[in-house]
Amino acid sequence: MKNNIYDKYLVEEKMPTMWCPGCGNGIVLQSIIRAIDEMDLDPEKIVFVSGIGCSSRAVNYLKFDCMHTNHGRAIAFATGIKMANPELKVIVLTGDGDCASIGGNHLIHACRRNIDLTVICMNNSNYGMTGGQYSPTTPLNSFTKTSVYGSYEPPFDLCDLTKSAGATYVARCATYLPVQMKDIIKKALNHHGLSFVDCASDCPSLYGRLNRLGDAGEMMLRWKDRLVSVTQSQKMSEEELKDKVIWGEFVNKSDRMEYTDIYKENIRRAKEAAHE
């Protein structure tokens, strides 16, 4: 297969990927490269940063400048890259355990600063790489390797978390809707300020198996009844929304200044003060 979108952006020698059959990470990665292809971005101006985990292995397959960093510290490294060279488009590929638990502090502080990063979280509700332990987004009463009687910790809603921390673009999508996911990622890449995209995906070989949700195909079809768009959800009661996943844009505003812009402004002011 030659001259196609995959050859253009993916490293052929590293294929097939290390992900299990039916893993949602591949669909998210595919949506990202389709978004970049449609936007016709300069590959020299894009940097991918990732932490540790199944999702973070995505950077190994990309023909871009990539950085595979410490567990949870992807956003910290990305902040450094962006501050050193604000011309670059910095994309953080991270998982739910990586960005919400171990790197949770970095996530909320990046949102508070509103630095121009695009954080794409591949949320599969458990720690896949280490064997399926529960993560901060594991739904209540679901089974994982470390919650054999059902998880009794209430999960984080990552969109609510980033929204309240001050992110200026927050959206959620699912692997069942890859075309809509591509459109949301395009908007997130265009946004000036911190954009957070929560990509709800499946882990059929660990989370799906322990919760008896069937194979990858059955898990994919489960999304059909569970996904509700933001506009639909406004007409529904709280009881109806109980087991649903709301997808769409939650926040899209530009009322706050971006962090590198503030930094540049401060340097200009300091120089002016020094001349006087």
Partner 1 sequence: MKLKVVIDRKMCKGCGICVVLCPKKILKIDEEGKASVTERQECIGCRQCEFHCPDFAILMGDDDGQL
Minimal distance, residue 135 CB to partner 1, in Å:
20
The interface mask with partner 1, positions 219-258, x = CB under 8 A, is -xx-------------------------------------
Contact 74, 122 (CB under 8 A): no
Number of residues that bind partner 1 (CB under 8 A): 31
Least CB distance from residue 230 to partner 1, whole Å? Answer: 22
The span from the CA of 272 to the CA of 74, in Å, is 35
**d(Cα 72, Cα 3) in Å, to the nearest integer?**
36
- Position 3 contacts partner 1 (CB under 8 A): yes
Judged by CB under 8 A, the residue of 27, 35, 107, 171 near partner 1 is 27
DSSP, residue by residue, 52-100: SSTGGGGGGGBSSEEEE-STT-HHHHHHHHHHH-TTSEEEEEEEHIIII
Q: Which of 43, 131, 154, 217 binds partner 1 (CB under 8 A)?
A: 217
In the three-class reduction of DSSP (H, G, I as helix; E, B as strand; rest coil), residue 120 is classed as strand
Using only C-alpha atoms, the chain has a radius of gyration, in whole angstroms, of 19
Least distance to partner 1, CB of residue 55, Å: 12
* Residue 175 interacting with partner 1 (CB under 8 A): yes
Shortest Cβ distance from residue 10 to partner 1 (Å)? Answer: 7
11 contacts partner 1 (rule: CB under 8 A): no
Cβ–Cβ < 8 Å for 205, 21: yes
Q: Which of 37, 218, 240, 265 binds partner 1 (CB under 8 A)?
A: 218
Residues present in the chain in total: 276
Interface region with partner 1, contact rule CB under 8 A, candidates 13-21, 130-138, 229-237, 265-273:
13-21
**DSSP secondary structure letters along 162-201:** HHHHT-SEEEEEETT-HHHHHHHHHHHHH-SS-EEEEEE-
List the structure tokens of 248: 């769409």
Instruction: Tell me which residues in 92-131 interact with partner 1 (CB under 8 A).
Output: none
Among positions 8, 11, 14, 21, the unique one binding partner 1 when judged by CB under 8 A: 21
Task: Choose among 166, 160, 157, 70: nearest CA to 109.
Answer: 166
Paired tokens of 120: 């794409």
Residue 4 near partner 1 by CB under 8 A:
yes
Using the rule CB under 8 A, is 178 a contact of partner 1?
yes
**Which one, 8 or 45, has the nearer CB to partner 1?**
8
Q: With the CA atoms of 3, 28, 63 and 20 taken in that order, what torsion angle do they form, in degrees rounded to the nearest 10? A: -90
Question: Which segment (121-129, 157-165, 213-221, 264-272) binds partner 1 by CB under 8 A?
Answer: 213-221
Residues in touch with partner 1 (CB under 8 A): 1-4, 6, 10, 15-17, 19-27, 30-31, 175-176, 178-179, 204, 215-218, 220-221
